[in-house]
Structure 1
Amino acid sequence: MIRLFIADDHAIFREGLKQILAEQADFEIVGEATTGNGLVERLATAACDVVLLDLSMPGRSGVALVREVAAAGTARIVVLSMHEERQYVIEALKAGAAGYVTKASASDQLIETIRKTAAGERVVSPSASQALIRQMLEPDLPHTALTPRERQIFDRLVGGRSVSAIARELDLSIKTVSTHKSNVLLKLDAGTTADLVRYAIARGLA
């Protein structure tokens, strides 16, 4: 039996995921968390084999959270992410993730990844691996220089969120978010949020 812990802040996605996993006779869901802080607290007492971890959650999140969970050494990590860009895949694996699956992947790919990582393998879903190969053959674009946290800010700005809304969502101060926003604008040679939106649309990031 493979004991699973799900960490994702989107209730609809989480419920759908549980339905899919519950159909597997060798899977048992032993816990859930909707924030990075909640995940760390629950893992201290919840014995599990594999953590299904969304990179973007309130509070602790991203590569830093992967690194913290991996350092505890109590479970292997499969990252579930909407991002295919190579910096996400590479950084997550470097931080200690055993698997990386995009949320666009078929359910059977996720199931196979869980079983393989539980058995000690490292797995990247086909959609993520193809994107990784494609981007490695292309010249680096400015957004690939963003740190994982800067990319979180970028995605939310492009999605129409305000600095204050982003601060609440990621449990950061407005000043910290504003600093990250300034760094994003600088790296992407943009003057305004509207410029970021145009950049994202032109490169298929929005």
Structure 2
Amino acid sequence: MPRKIHVDAVLIQAVIAGALSFAHLHDLAAAAGQSGWKAWAYPVSVDLLLVAVWRRLRTERSKLAWFWFLVALVASLGANIATAGLLDLDHVPAWLRILVAGWPALAFLGGTLLAHQPAASAPELAPEPVSRSAPVIDLDRPETPAPPPEITTPEPVPALPEAPAPAVPPALVDHARKVATEHRTRTGAEIDTATLRTRLGIPEDLAGAIVAQLA
């Protein structure tokens, strides 16, 4: 279904303002030496640059877009003021003729820069966290208690077999008995394993076996 155009005061005002600005730009271009279709092309060029700038400003407020907006606004507003009687259109100064003649190149440059300028990339949005639904608990069904954990009894560590007592030669026992007697006479106490091992220079287990035989 086609959309209906609602005619209101704002739309009528916009059409009137656009027509007057268009006519002023045409008159100024014609007074600056641009005759025929060229005089009509100047207001079209200015309005198209304004449209291009407006489209850029809707998506990005860059310094380049604002610069060309001011350029197009000065061109349009300057033509309106110049044709208000402040400028003798029969004797247009040379600098204004230069500006009017150089406008096509300036408008082409601005339109090209606006069309080919890369748009600013939108900031990347962080991914939304995945919501995990809470577990549903059925209150009508009684909960089954979890079985108690099994307790395992550690197996006993087998005892290490005792090392057999070393064999003691009889001659070494006799010599040890003499050393023990001399130690008892001198100190009044029985000789111990450490002392006997030091006196005889034998291993500790062998000294223990001899002390056990002397007891």
By percentage of residues, which structure has more strand? 1
By percentage of residues, which structure has more helix? 2
Regarding TM over 0.5, the answer is no
Structure whose CA Rg is larger: 2
* TM-score bin (small chain): under 0.3
